Structure 1
Amino acid sequence: MSCDAIAFSALLWLASTGPTAAPNAVPALSAPASVAGEPLFADIVRRASGLRAQAEAYRKSLAADPAAPAVALPGAEAFGTGIAELSALDMKGHLTLKARGAVDDLKCILRGISQDLPEKLAAMSAARTVKEQDLALRDMVYLLNDNVEVITAPPQPAA
């Protein structure tokens, strides 16, 4: 038997005995189901959207002079309460996804947002000038926007 014939026979034998996928196997790179319609995650999106609009309104109300002293924001206490509640909901979302065995990035992002919200709120309170206040509010707007977009974006397969 020639070497070509032996190599061809070996190729056929390996192909016929190699591992095969189960008939109902899920592809390894399938995207996870969207959670945006679930009540917990829909509530997070609703609250983050409202708080983002409020933070944007705060930015628009600031004085034009960046060196001016920071001003008290109307309803700041209620805003802070809303941020604390949203932070707790983000952590609840993280824990919910973790309990489900989620392997996508959403659970980690929600945890990070939950930890970042109180820090951004503290930066807003610590601002001494309009410029510092505007920067803190801008960061808060971006974080709240991320909170909405990460939940409403179409799910992607795990990397």
Structure 2
Amino acid sequence: MAPAPERQEAGPLIYVCVDYEAGDNPQGLDPCTLVEEIFSDNGADLIDHELPVVAAFDDPSIAMEAAVVGQWRVQREINDPNRKLRIGVHLGSLVEALAVLGCSNGNQIIFSGAVDVATGGALDARLMGQAQLWVDSEPTQLWLSTDSRPDIDGRPLRIPT
């Protein structure tokens, strides 16, 4: 894994941060390998971090798609009721993305208003509210992804890339 990439000439990065709530006795495989594989297959740079998975994407639509697919596959392929993914997605800095992740609970994908704007409002989501997540800025709008995939493998992307 690499340190956080410095690619400001191409624009800000979209960070996807993954953690999980672990109950008493996790019963399935650790989901990190599966999530890392999905993110890498979608062009992400994996970042060495204390969290289980942190990735940087260039395209917000691809980042959200990878987050949804990752959560969907972990829920169905690993299916561990004692380990629930928490995912935070933000266009900006890694520190800000970690703050967005801090607003999520198990089996939730939370993303910032910056991601909503960057994807043209095309994501399936529910408005959560505004939160003051970082100092020296206005409150940011948070969204809860409501995207679900009954047939992930045969279905085209739901958002334009």
| TM-score past 0.5 threshold | no
The structure whose RCO (Cα within 8 Å, separation 6+) is larger is 1
Q: Taking structure 1 as the reference length, what is the TM-score of the superposition?
A: 0.31
- TM-score for both structures, normalised by structure 2: 0.31
